[in-house]
């Protein structure tokens, strides 16, 4: 009789361990991330300390962003920034957004003539169309950093394009995707992100 109880206790412990492993694998698959926290469409090890990276044949950039919710009212005596960091272009709600783009590679990218174009992605008659919202003139960025602030007042899919020509007069285009407003899956990920975050 005692041996049967002991066996039953071991089976219960094994079932609990198996359940924990299944939950961990499920959440890992749900997040679709590597051990570095990067999403599959970003450059390898794409999420590093608040910045993401994107690579094309001609250009590699790092980008980070901060948002301020539309409903936020700035207190007069505040000493802290109310801006909240975003992870790889996911903005939880319509907001004012500050984006910073670092021209990582090649170093000569600082001399490229680059413009920014902000678009909203719409589906019209089952076809994806991009509606221009904002365009900046092409210019060089000797500091290697491009900053831009703008307001995204509606949920949806957006993108920032870096476009221009490199130092050999070859066309360059790079897309930074932005998603404004979370689906239920995103809320679920946010809820459990503390437990799944890698140090």
Inside any domain, residue 83: yes
Determine the pLDDT at residue 102.
93
Provide the CB-side half-sphere exposure for 26 (13 A, CA).
Answer: 8
Q: Is the pLDDT score of 187 beyond 60?
A: no
CATH number at 129 reads: 2.60.40.1930
Determine the pLDDT at residue 25.
73
* Dist. CA 83–CA 184, nearest whole Å: 23
Determine the pLDDT at residue 123.
84
Among the listed ranges 48-52, 70-74, 119-123, 175-179, which one has the minimum average pLDDT value? 48-52
Return all residues near 198 (Cβ < 8 A) that are at least 6 apart.
35, 36, 37
Return all residues near 111 (Cβ < 8 A) that are at least 6 apart.
140, 142, 167
Inside any domain, residue 32: no
Determine the pLDDT at residue 117.
95
Count, in order, helices (H) and strands (E) of the chain. Answer: 2, 11
Inside any domain, residue 194: no
Determine the pLDDT at residue 84.
79
Q: Is the pLDDT score of 160 beyond 70?
A: yes
Inside any domain, residue 85: yes
Q: Residue 133 belongs to what domain range? A: 39-182
Number of domains in the chain: 1
Inside any domain, residue 26: no
Is residue 53 classed exposed, middle or buried when 0-12, 13-18 and 19+ CB atoms within 10 A define those classes?
buried
Inside any domain, residue 19: no
pLDDT mean across residues, the chain:
77
Inside any domain, residue 74: yes
Cβ burial 91-108 (10 Å sphere, 16+ → b, else e): bbebbbbbbebbbbeeee
Inside any domain, residue 20: no
């Amino acid at each position: 009789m005692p041996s049967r109880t002991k066996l039953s206790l071991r089976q219960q412990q094994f079932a609990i361990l198996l359940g924990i492993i299944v939950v961990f694998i499920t959440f890992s698959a749900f997040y679709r991330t590597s051990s570095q926290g990067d999403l599959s469409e970003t450059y390898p090890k794409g999420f590093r300390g608040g910045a993401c990276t994107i690579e094309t044949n001609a250009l590699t950039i790092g980008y980070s962003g901060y948002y301020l919710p539309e409903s936020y009212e700035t207190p007069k005596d505040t000493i802290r920034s109310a801006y909240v960091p975003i992870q790889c272009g996911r903005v939880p709600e319509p907001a004012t957004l500050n984006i910073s783009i670092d021209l990582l590679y090649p170093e000569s990218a600082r001399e490229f003539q680059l413009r920014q174009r902000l678009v909203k992605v719409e589906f019209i008659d089952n076809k994806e169309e991009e509606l221009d919202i904002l365009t900046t003139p092409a210019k060089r960025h000797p500091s290697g950093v491009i900053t831009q602030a703008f307001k995204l007042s509606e949920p949806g899919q957006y993108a920032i394009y870096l476009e221009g020509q490199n130092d050999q007069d070859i066309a360059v285009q790079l897309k930074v995707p932005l998603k404004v407003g979370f689906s239920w899956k995103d809320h679920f990920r946010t809820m459990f992100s503390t437990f799944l975050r890698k140090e």
